Amino acid sequence: MDKKDKQRKEGQAHKDKMRQWNERYQTYIKELDQESYSGKDLGAIYHPSRTSFRVWAPTAVYVKVNLYKEGQGDCLIHQIDMKKDESGTFLARVEGDLKGLYYTYLVAKKEGIDEAVDPYAKAVGVNGERGMIVDLSSTNPKGWAEDVRPKLSHFTDAVIYEVHVRDVSSDPSSHIVNTGRFLGLAETGTTNDAGFATGLDHMKELGITHLHLMPAFDFATIDESKTVPVQYNWGYDPKNYNVPEGSYSSDPFHGEVRIREMKSIIQALHAGGIRVVLDVVYNHTERAKDSNFNKIVPDYYYRMEDMKYTNGSACGNEMASERSMVRKFIVDSVCYWAKEYHLDGFRFDLMGLHDITTMNEIREKVNAIDPTILLYGEGWCGGESPLPLKDRASKANAPLLDAIAVFSDDIRDAIKGSVFVPEEKGFVHGAYGLEDVIRFGMAGGVRHPQVHREFWASSPSQCINYVSAHDDYTLWDKLTLADPGASEKKRIRMNKLAAAIILTSQGIPFLMAGEELLRTKPGDECGERFDSNSYISSDAINSIKWNDKTRHHEVFSYYQGLIAFRKKHPVLRLTTQKAVANQMHFLKGLERNVVGCILTDWDQNETICILHNGRKLRSDVALPAGKWNVYVDDEKAGVSPLYTIEGGHVTVKATSSMVLIKIQ
């Protein structure tokens, strides 16, 4: 046998082995799916006189509950045998008041014996190494029963503001006392060095409706037991899904503290008229082989092929949302947060890795809690996934998702140039050929007779319009990289034009916190000018520099004015595709790189004209006759008219927007 022949035979043998393994694996998964448990009592259910523990572990030989005095260290109090119960679960009922004790499961199966944290744990000790038995009612801050969600009539009324908990308070200019913690988000009366509002007061002043918290559930990469040296991480590395992150609390050692503190900031934000969204990462876990899920039911929770974890998340593994007990876990988790923490929305990281059925089930179950809860996600994956394209909760499949929105990378890249090509220019830099994409974004991603790009949103409420988020370069840095020769004054014009497009478009606008202060993330010592992936960078790079509000107050006021204008005029927040197609008419015969539309609101008897000029020169646009009040121009934006012009035509200055309302 020659060498080639041998290689071919070995290759074939390997293929056969993998095929057989894959078949056995699918059978294993099918059998486990058939042993699903549908009850609502998974986890530790506390009662002052007894606690019940139930865990789904269909392949286990035996399971024991370990009870500990503390969340770490050698302090085992008691070990309790669990009894095999219905549908693959093990159950133990323990008499007495177990409040404040910590617990784990000892799971024996053919692969070995492992100690695991309950995936359904509602409280944990430091670093999430043990679950805690918690009396949830005792974690409620004062007045919690009276906490109500601020009013939201339509999803398109939302203005989302994305923050990282630390970034808000880690720069001294915030003058927030609770540096880097949940409680920093609830402080009021804080100002920068010049007396301009910071933190919560700033958000209220800006006029946002939704505060989007980057991962604030328990993540793995920060050692909660140490505050020195300062550690930083975005938190896209989930450890315990149903528990707040300990490093954001004032005491990560006592499991109830972080719960109370997170609830108290949600309460404070609600009192300030702001709803709260949690960024959730159900697409992967920080650990795979030795994750808690795997220690309890080996290889069930993750997608596998050829004996390996598939990597659609680019983080080493991907959760198999389409399997019944994974789906149940995700649905239960979202509902738990919505109910117990009064959360108002969820942003799904790499939602394209979740199957449509799971996402729609989340919508259905969340509706029973409150149908105004906002659901949106990234309609893409991070890598190759075995989940069939037709099943993915992706942007292309948005029409199959029930009232779940996706991010519009279309408008993002059209405005500022592709995030993957730093030097690429966008509409605001004066790049040509982007008019149709801008119109697509202005129409909220829905079908419109004057837009030729293939639509994906079935209603504007499915379209999240944005030009910057935590990923990639900040808007300000991208504007610079794509046009290094432009003066600061010119780049400010570009930034304002970008903001005007996002905040006057149909759909749901989304801002990265600090965009309104020209937020920049300077590069580190490695020689990069700016930081495009600051997930472990320092506070110095990531923090919001509140003193920039003094220097760039004009830009802040512009964002504030645009938000106020948007909130005042319902025609900017249309709720159906039909309304957009009927009430939004794009102007024809404009110069290249100029886009404009007329919005007609028959109910309010109002005609609004929106013009965006991406050219480096002014543009004269024909306007219907009559008198028009100008509310937005290159300098200012707001709800009061700046000045009045005669119709016929209007001049839009270079790199700027104009918004006008016809005087009836």
562, amino acid identity: L
Q: The tokens of 661 are what?
A: 């309302």
Smaller CB separation from Ca ion, 128 or 507: 128
Task: Considering only residues 493 through 512, tell me which ones interact with Ca ion, judged by CB under 5 A.
Answer: none
Smaller CB separation from Ca ion, 241 or 565: 241
Q: The tokens of 173 are what?
A: 């200019």
Minimum CB separation of residue 78 from Ca ion in Å reads 26
Stretch that binds Ca ion, among 65-73, 210-218, 322-330, 644-652 (CB under 5 A): 210-218
Catalytic residue among 157, 218, 378, 531: 378
- Residues 42 and 129: their CA atoms lie apart, in Å, by 19
| Tally of CB atoms within 10 A around 643 | 9
Minimum CB separation of residue 239 from Ca ion in Å reads 6
Residue number with the shortest CB distance to Ca ion? Answer: 218
- Spell out the residues 6+ positions from residue 92 whose beta carbon is closer than 8 angstroms to its own: 52, 53, 65, 80, 81, 82, 83
- Asked whether the CA dihedral 301, 306, 308, 314 is positive or negative, the reply is negative
Cα separation values, 222 from 122, 292, 535, Å = 19, 18, 12
- Cis-peptide, bond into residue 460, ω within 30° of zero: no
Minimum CB separation of residue 126 from Ca ion in Å reads 9
What's the DSSP call for residue 114?
Answer: E
The C-alpha angle 521, 200, 540, rounded to 5 degrees, equals 25
Catalytic residue at 23?
no
Q: The tokens of 70 are what?
A: 């503390």
CB 508 within 8 A of CB 405: yes
Minimum CB separation of residue 252 from Ca ion in Å reads 8
User: 596: which strand partners?
Assistant: 611
Stretch that binds Ca ion, among 243-251, 419-427, 457-465, 648-656 (CB under 5 A): 243-251
Catalytic residue among 218, 299, 349, 633: 349
Stretch that binds Ca ion, among 41-49, 240-248, 276-284, 295-303 (CB under 5 A): 240-248
Locate the DSSP E strands across 33-111. Answer: 43-47, 50-56, 62-68, 76-81, 83-84, 89-95, 102-109
The answer to the question of residue 129 lying near Ca ion (CB under 5 A) is no
CB 599 within 8 A of CB 448: no
Task: Determine the size of the site formed for Ca ion (CB under 5 A).
Answer: 3
Minimum CB separation of residue 331 from Ca ion in Å reads 23
Catalytic residue at 528?
no
Minimum CB separation of residue 46 from Ca ion in Å reads 22
Query: Kind and range of the H or E element at 27?
Result: helix 3-34
Stretch that binds Ca ion, among 94-102, 165-173, 214-222, 427-435 (CB under 5 A): 214-222
Q: Considering only residues 114, 129, 167, 218, which one is a binding residue for Ca ion as defined by CB under 5 A?
A: 218
- Residues 278 and 276: their CA atoms lie apart, in Å, by 7
Q: The tokens of 123 are what?
A: 């409280």
- Spell out the residues 6+ positions from residue 489 whose beta carbon is closer than 8 angstroms to its own: none
- What share of residues in the chain are helix, strand, coil (percent, to 5)? 35, 25, 45
Stretch that binds Ca ion, among 192-200, 237-245, 409-417, 526-534 (CB under 5 A): 237-245
Smaller CB separation from Ca ion, 128 or 382: 128
Minimum CB separation of residue 114 from Ca ion in Å reads 20
Q: Please report, as ranges, the residues that interact with Ca ion according to CB under 5 A.
A: 218, 245-246
Catalytic residues: 349, 378
